[in-house]
Amino acid sequence: MQLLRILKTVAGTIDGEAWLRFFVAVAGLGLAFLAAIFSTTMRESGNILTSIALASMSLVLAGVVGITVVPYLARRVRVTRVREALDFHVTREGMAYLGVALIISVAALNTTNNLLFIVLAAMLAAIVVSGFASAAVLRGLQLEIAMPERAFAARPVLARVRLANPRRWMSAFSVRVATSVGKKKKPKPTWEWHKTEFAFPRRNPWVHLPDYTLRRKIEPEKPPEIFDKPVYFTYIPPGLTGEIPVELNFPRRGRYAQDTFFVATRFPFSFLVKSRRVRLSRELLIYPALLEESDFFDVLPMITGDFVSMARGRGSDLYRIREHTPEDPARFVDWKATAKTGALKVREFTREDERRLRIVFDNAAPGAVPEALYERAVSKAASLAWHFAGENIDLTFLGRGDDGLTDLHSFLAYLAVVQPAEGDSMLESLPFSNDYNVIITARRPGTIPTALWASSYVIYMQP
């Protein structure tokens, strides 16, 4: 019963039509071969007409098989398997080895020395063995890339490259995971036809005919790649998974993507590099670079002034008495508690208002701000948002061209891809609220609406 089930399973996976056409092709080519042989026999015996007829039949049978059967079977072949099977690259060592083999082959042909022929055969067999061994090492390996949830420009983050060897009997040796094998080729320009109109003469034409012109196709710009260095696995035992942490560093903010990886090996002799393409899409959004606190902390004097009430409050109800810190104003010192304990104490009061901090990024128009100053303004906006998010302050965000900034990470994602864009400044139509505004804008000093001065701190993109 078990054998019958296995036979039924195998029979279910067989493509009956493909096999039928294969056997028909074999039979047709066999008949064409026999006709060609009999044609030669008839020609030697002097029967020219029969020879011509058999030769013609042989050609017709071969042509019919080539037209009707071969294209069908070629379409049924998995192109990816053929590409993977033939995806070899000769290394420098392999080129030197082939050069030596060529010299030995020339010497063997000139001297007819059997020993040289044996050495040449052994050298060629080593190349064949190297190809089969490297293909066997890569067969069945499974690649997985674990990316970090978030990353900032100019700050290293860790990604993890995992390579699983699910086979039970064979180990993997000297495997490299890379984004390309060999030198990267520049993409070739592609061309496409566009509909135009032929007009004659050029001035005041009276003949108008449909026409086509060949133009270079403009390819969409691809995002930069995530990985720029290969990852090397020395040895992966059967049934286990190798994992290597990879430090990634991104110089600029923006969107990075990777859709193809290569698993390659030079095992065992380094004559050939056998590679296998792995389709594995990964995308990472890089937030703007965070500035050091000393680079932006001085632009917010309200932190030690009016904005202190947002974290502590200036109400009349006592909240607690605590140790004095250098940032505390002298008017909050509790002298009675200080006299009793011998240490400087301050009073904290409950908050009497619900004001919040709103960070507004008023995007600039193209060319209005130099690129370096624009990038610094974007980084300053991200740094302020990240700093205040750690201070337990109720934050809101606003950016020109995007109304979905609901939390910190949506604002950072907006800043990661924002670019100068045409449009009016958003300060004229800034939604009213009781929030205290920190505005990053490209507008000149003196052009800010006066209604914002009482509840805003403005950071200019221009120097």
Mean per-residue pLDDT for 309-319?
49
Q: Is pLDDT at 190 greater than 80 in this prediction?
A: no
SS3 210: strand
Q: What is the DSSP string of 130-193?
A: HHHHHHHHHTT-EEEEE--S-EETTS-EEEEEEEE---SS--EEEEEEES-SSSPPPPPP-EEE
Strand partners, 175: 233, 265
Mind listing the pLDDT tens digit for each residue in 238-295?
999 999 999 999 999 999 998 889 999 988 888 888 888 888 888 899 999 988 766 6
Q: What is the pLDDT of residue 352?
A: 46
| 201's tokens | 């003469």
373 CB-near residues (< 8 Å, 6+ apart) = 461, 462, 463
| Predicted pLDDT at 245 | 93
Cβ atoms 436, 455 nearer than 8 A: yes
**The pLDDT value given to residue 244:** 92
Nearest to 460 by CA among 434, 433, 438: 438
pLDDT band at 158 (very low <50, low <70, confident <90, very high): very high
pLDDT at 185: 60
Please report how the helices 48-68 and 16-44 are oriented relative to each other, as an axis angle in degrees rounded to 10: 160
121-145 confidence digits (pLDDT tens): 888 888 888 888 888 888 889 999 9
pLDDT band, residue 311 (cuts 50/70/90): very low
pLDDT of residue 309: 47
Paired residues of 194 in beta bridges: 213
Q: Which two tokens stand for residue 391?
A: 């201070």
- Domain spanning 89-187+223-287: CATH 2.40.50.140: no
Instruction: Provide the mean pLDDT of the chain.
Output: 78
Whole-Å CA distances, 262 to 182, 186, 284? 11, 18, 19
Q: Give the domain ranges of the chain.
A: 15-77, 89-187+223-287, 293-308+354-460, 315-350
Q: Which DSSP helix (H) or strand (E) runs through 457?
A: strand 456-460
Relative orientation angle of helices 92-111 and 114-138, to the nearest 10 degrees: 150
